Structure 1
Amino acid sequence: MNNRSAKGIALIVVGGLIALPILGITLGWIIKLLFPLILIGLGVVGWRNNSKILGGLMIAFGGLMIIGKFHTLIMLGIAIALIAFGVSQFNKRR
């Protein structure tokens, strides 16, 4: 892909993102989920390119953002694990 086609695709995407809210279509929830993943990905790339401090910070912030988005699912997983562990302890005593 040459430079002109990359610029053209970027302009189409930006123009589409500007036009969608005018048409009543919002993609904010997708952006809110993708941004932490993009941040983690950029941190991994930075880590591999020997920029350990910046890469680590980006991975850490992205991870904290992911935890904030999925805290309900994480807590549900912890609750299920605790219930399963409790049931297994109860069955061992018999």
Structure 2
Amino acid sequence: MNGKKALGVLLVVVGAIVVLNFIGVHFGSIFWFFFPFILIGLGVVGWKNDKKWIGGILAAIGVLMLVSKFSSIIFLAIAIALIVLGVSKIRNGSNRGY
């Protein structure tokens, strides 16, 4: 795709988003949810095209944003793992007849 076609596609997409926003359809929350995935994808593309610094930086920023978005789920999983580990330690400790 040459530069003029890419610019045309970009203008059509931006214009469609503005029209939909005027009508009342908002894409802000959807865009900010997928933005870390977009950064990770751009980082992978940069890494494959021998731009390892830029690709690594973009992927790292995307991963950090993704971890911050899913931090509550990650902490819930850690809490459940700690509870399971504690219960297993209690059960193994009480079976021994010292």
User: Once superposed, what is the RMSD of the aligned Cα atoms?
Assistant: 2.0
After TM superposition, the structure 1 = structure 2 runs for residues 39-50 of structure 1, keeping only pairs within 5 Å, are: 39-50=39-50
For residues 44-72 of structure 1, what are the alpha-carbon distances to aligned partners after superposition, in whole Å with 9 as ceiling and x for unaligned? 11111221111110111111111111111
Which of 6-15 and 17-26 deviates more? 6-15
Count of equivalent residues? 93
Aligned equivalents of 1:38, 1:47: Cα separation in 2: 14
Q: Distance in 2 between matches of 1:54 and 1:60?
A: 10
> Which residue of 2 is the match for residue 87 of structure 1?
87
Kindly indicate whether structure 1 or structure 2 has the higher relative contact order, using CA contacts under 8 Å at least 6 residues apart.
1
1:1-94 correspondence to structure 2 within 5 Å: 9-94=9-94
Q: Gaps spanning 5+ residues in structure 2: where?
A: none
Larger radius of gyration: 2
Cα distance, 1:12 vs. partner? 3.6
- The TM-score normalised by the length of structure 2 is 0.79
